[in-house]
Amino acid sequence: MSKKFTPQKIEVNQLAYNNAIKQAEAKIENFKAALNFAYNNHVKEADLNDTAFNESFTQEFKRCFLKENANKVQLEIPYEKLLDLLSVNLDTLKELEYKQHENTAQLEIVDNETVATEVSIEDFTVYTRNESENKRLAAKENLVKALSEVSEFQKVYPLSVVQATSNFLLFDIAKNEYRHLERTGVQAPRKYKQT
């Protein structure tokens, strides 16, 4: 009876994960800035629907702005004229909306008071795909352990090890450690673009 294959973690793309967290935080801050713009420009908090606002800042602002201010002038005037009369410049809101749609992090409206994003480290983790890769990973871990033991007695040159093993092991100079991921072109999946 053969042993069932269990994927093992090779590595986590920590840089991409940290960038995704920064993007998610930036999206929340951008959303809050857009809300503050709306509340400071003749829109009541109770009128604003956060879900609709998340879809389109300008459309939901227009709906709430007209609801709140359309009766301030006796005449029926266009939205743009009403904005001018109340000295509201939408350029800031349009810029915030552009940033919001450009940022690929997913914003969730938890309730009409709370917004959140979720960034899972699993999206940036690379696992082995088959039993052969599991065996390679075990061999690499054993080699790294042996090199660590040898380095207690003698200087070990990582570049020489990488060359001697024909890139079986890779060395990350920034982290000063051996890496296990040798598959060419394989990276952790990126759900979030770097800006």
Q: Which two tokens stand for residue 5?
A: 């294959």
Query: In this predicted structure, what is the pLDDT of residue 112?
Result: 67
Query: In this predicted structure, what is the pLDDT of residue 130?
Result: 93
Query: In this predicted structure, what is the pLDDT of residue 103?
Result: 94
pLDDT in tens, the chain (195 residues): 567 889 999 999 999 999 999 999 999 999 999 999 999 999 998 899 998 999 999 999 999 999 988 888 778 888 898 899 899 999 999 999 999 999 999 998 887 678 899 999 999 999 999 999 999 999 999 999 999 999 999 999 999 999 999 999 999 998 899 987 654 334 444 343 333
Query: In this predicted structure, what is the pLDDT of residue 74?
Result: 77
Q: Which two tokens stand for residue 128?
A: 């082995």
From the centroid of its chain, how far is CA 179?
Answer: 24
Query: In this predicted structure, what is the pLDDT of residue 180?
Result: 73
Query: In this predicted structure, what is the pLDDT of residue 192?
Result: 37
Query: In this predicted structure, what is the pLDDT of residue 149?
Result: 95
Q: For 79-109, how does the pLDDT look when each residue is reduced to its tens digit (9 = 90+)?
A: 898 899 899 999 999 999 999 999 999 998 8
- Burial readout 78-107 (b: 16 or more C-beta within 10 A, e: otherwise): eeeebbeeeebebeebeebbebbeebebeb
Instruction: Work out the angle at residue 9's Cα, subtended by the Cα atoms of residues 120 and 168, and round it to the nearest 5 degrees.
Output: 130
Q: Which two tokens stand for residue 94?
A: 């349009």
Kindly report the backbone phi and psi dihedral angles of residue 191, in degrees, each rounded to the nearest multiple of 5, phi listed first. Answer: -85, -15
